[in-house]
Chain A
Amino acid sequence: MIKLTNYLSHSYNKPDGHLLAAYEQAGGYRGVRKALAMTREQVIDEAKKAHIRGRGGAGFDCGTKWSFMPKQSNKPHYLVINADEGEPGTFKDRSIMEKNPHALIEGCIIGAYAIGAHAAYIYVRDELHLSKERLWGAIHEARAKGYLGKRPFGKDYEVEVYVHTGAGAYICGEETALLNSLEGRRGEPRLKPPFPAQYGAFGCPSTVNNVETIAIMPTAFEMGGDAFSQLSALHSFNDGGSRLFGISGHVKKPGLYEACVGLTLRELIYDLGGGILGDRELLGVIPGGSSCPVHRPDEIVNVPNDPRFEPYNGKSFLDLPLGVDTFRTVGSMLGTCCAIVLSDAADPVLALHNLMRFYRHESCGQCTPCREGCGWIERILNKVVEGKATIEELDRISEIASDITGNTICAFGDGAAQPALAFVRRYRKHFEDYILNSGRSQTGNLAL
């Protein structure tokens, strides 16, 4: 069911919406006052009640993540915000930083307090120059008002927020690579354990949260955690509140829509997205950023042993509410909740070719299966597109992708293998056409 909200996006169409005055007029900096009146434990409990699943792709419950931080330690704690948005198809965090930066700053104060940190670093990818400018602007405004600094809102709990920049590496969106990059090293992921909550930034306990996860926190605290969670149609799945839904590719109205959790892909594509460009047929949809598997519109939901899935069983995959656990259970992934739509004018072989070039380019090179595997798959796809590949080589794509999965330090390898496996399995005929017709295909195009 579509229930549009505007907790984060209320300021998106206002020219001065990113400034403190507009934010406070719209009710900003009220949630943090409530949070700072609580104890640290109460803040974590309230966040748990809100059931905010990590918006960066992994979907881990934010309050639970905060609770992993040590209660007492003789080292400083750090809050690190992952603003290295670069997952193909995903463009939600940038909108928050550019158009509603104070929501993120307010969330940082709540988050820092909850995990016992006095400093928060927002790791912004370097390309987002306007985001960095707006965040620094918001930090200066908040500091001038005394919201940041020694005594935020009269509470004797110092909080400082800093913006840190990357330098162009997708892998730095992986939390441990991000920590290495924050420390001034090459952005190569670290082995876990130890987890960041024990040994994170500068060797100290740290929590890494996504921009949207933190920016929605003030709303949850103002509303009350439980009330916020109840907004969602998937409250029973512990997947609460509202979030930003993005849609890009072959739809009439691509863009961002803020709505309660529970929206379906059909609603996102046909109602909010306005339907397929040129009123063509839907060929496939990648639900949440390119690392999620692609799905065909004729897939049917079938989860017999879970009563929560009763309303959806037998229905189209497009009618399953977009949720972390709903999608995980049917063998998909919600990711960042920003869908990429392919119409039947798009060639799925070229789509995978495009994505594998991306993964080959962005693999950090630390683990052999990922470094070599992504390159091998791309090279086979080069041959497929040129019409020089064989059916054996097509099968080898799936073999290589399976061998990458689970054999690397970080989740990048799985993220690169997923699209390869899904595209070849679901559009095998298109791949075979290329091979059997020496490189000629039905559309041969990505753009309309």
Chain B
Amino acid sequence: MAFALSAEQEQKFNEILKRYPNKMAACIPVLHLCQEANENWVSDEVIEFVAKRLELSAAHVKGVVTFYTLFNQKKPGKHQVWVCHTLSCALRGADKIIDHCEKRLGCHVGETSKDGKVTLRTAECLAACGNAPMMQVNKTYYENLTIEQVDRILDQLLGEGGR
């Protein structure tokens, strides 16, 4: 089935367009909108849709999608977890957090837990160095992490009974 936006999302689409002097500038915000409407990933249908609506070539849109790390070209798990592993966080024990997440989720960085609930990724600096180590879960930052806190967060994501 071809990709389409709901009436509410269409309204957001129009609001985005109003902010810019031309349609191309809406490319990244519109891709975010569509990605959210498409289970958090950008499929070829989404690229076609955005290209058509913004009067761009599909090649241009695909070029944008592949440039930026936050556009998923594969469908991720229900929840996305990013653990920052750049220097300030690494000095504060980010590696231990990552190891622990891998063990708890039973998957490596870049993969999704078997039940499809959580995709684990590392991230380069997320601007929270003063409160390292930290991780981002979907749209929320968790800072000054301890292993116990990570467990509580993952428990919630994985649902009752753990993994």
Q: Which residues of A contact B (CB under 8 A)?
A: 76, 85-91, 93-94, 125-130, 162, 164-170, 181-188, 202, 246-250, 254-256, 290, 338, 340-342, 346, 350-351, 354-355, 358, 361-362, 364, 446-448
For B26, the chain A residues whose CB sits under 8 A away are: 184
Q: Which of A250, A254, A447 contacts B131 (CB 8 A)?
A: A254
Q: Which of B27, B70, B88 contacts A126 (CB 8 A)?
A: B70
For A185, the chain B residues whose CB sits under 8 A away are: 24, 27, 60, 64
1/0 per residue B109-120: CB within 8 Å of A?
A: 000000000000
Say yes or no: B125 contacts A86, CB within 8 Å. yes
Shortest Cβ gap from B100 to chain A (Å): 13
Q: Is B31 an interface residue (CB 8 A)?
A: yes
What are the nearest 10 A-B pairs in CB distance? A184-B27, A167-B68, A168-B70, A248-B129, A168-B69, A184-B24, A129-B139, A186-B67, A248-B88, A447-B93
For B19, the chain A residues whose CB sits under 8 A away are: 162, 164
Q: Which of B64, B125, B131 contacts A186 (CB 8 A)?
A: B64
Say yes or no: A447 contacts B63, CB within 8 Å. no
For B71, the chain A residues whose CB sits under 8 A away are: 167
| Complex Cα spacing A86 to B127, Å | 6
Question: Could you list 9 A-B pairs, sorted by A, with CB under 8 Å?
Answer: A91-B130, A182-B25, A250-B91, A254-B129, A354-B86, A355-B87, A358-B86, A362-B124, A447-B92
Say yes or no: B69 contacts A169, CB within 8 Å. yes
Shortest Cβ gap from A19 to chain B (Å): 20
For A164, the chain B residues whose CB sits under 8 A away are: 19, 25, 28-29
Say yes or no: A167 contacts B31, CB within 8 Å. yes
For B25, the chain A residues whose CB sits under 8 A away are: 164, 182-184, 202
Q: Which of A128, A249, A341, A447 contacts B127 (CB 8 A)?
A: A128
Say yes or no: B124 contacts A255, CB within 8 Å. no
CB-based nearest A residue for B68 = A167
Q: Which of A187, A290, A361 contacts B67 (CB 8 A)?
A: A187
Interface residues on B, range: 35 or more
| Complex Cα spacing A195 to B94, Å | 40
Q: Which of B64, B93, B124, B130 contacts A184 (CB 8 A)?
A: B64
CB-based nearest B residue for A364 = B67
For A126, the chain B residues whose CB sits under 8 A away are: 32, 70
For B91, the chain A residues whose CB sits under 8 A away are: 248-250, 340-342, 346, 351, 446-447
- Of residues 119 to 137 in B, which have CB atoms within 8 Å of A's CB atoms? 123-132, 136
Shortest Cβ gap from B97 to chain A (Å): 10
Say yes or no: B87 contacts A88, CB within 8 Å. yes
Knowing A162-B19, A187-B67, the reply to whether A354 touches B124 (Cβ < 8 A) is no
Besides A184-B54, A248-B129, 8 new A-B residue pairs in contact (Cβ under 8 A), listed by A number = A89-B87, A127-B136, A169-B67, A183-B24, A185-B60, A255-B131, A447-B92, A447-B94
| Complex Cα spacing A164 to B29, Å | 7
CB-based nearest B residue for A352 = B87
Knowing A168-B69, A248-B130, the reply to whether A181 touches B28 (Cβ < 8 A) is yes
For A94, the chain B residues whose CB sits under 8 A away are: 127-128
- Of residues 15 to 42 in B, which have CB atoms within 8 Å of A's CB atoms? 19, 21-22, 24-29, 31-32
For A76, the chain B residues whose CB sits under 8 A away are: 21
CB-based nearest B residue for A343 = B91
Q: Is B96 an interface residue (CB 8 A)?
A: yes
Say yes or no: B70 contacts A129, CB within 8 Å. no
Say yes or no: B95 contacts A447, CB within 8 Å. yes
CB-based nearest A residue for B124 = A358
For B68, the chain A residues whose CB sits under 8 A away are: 166-169, 187
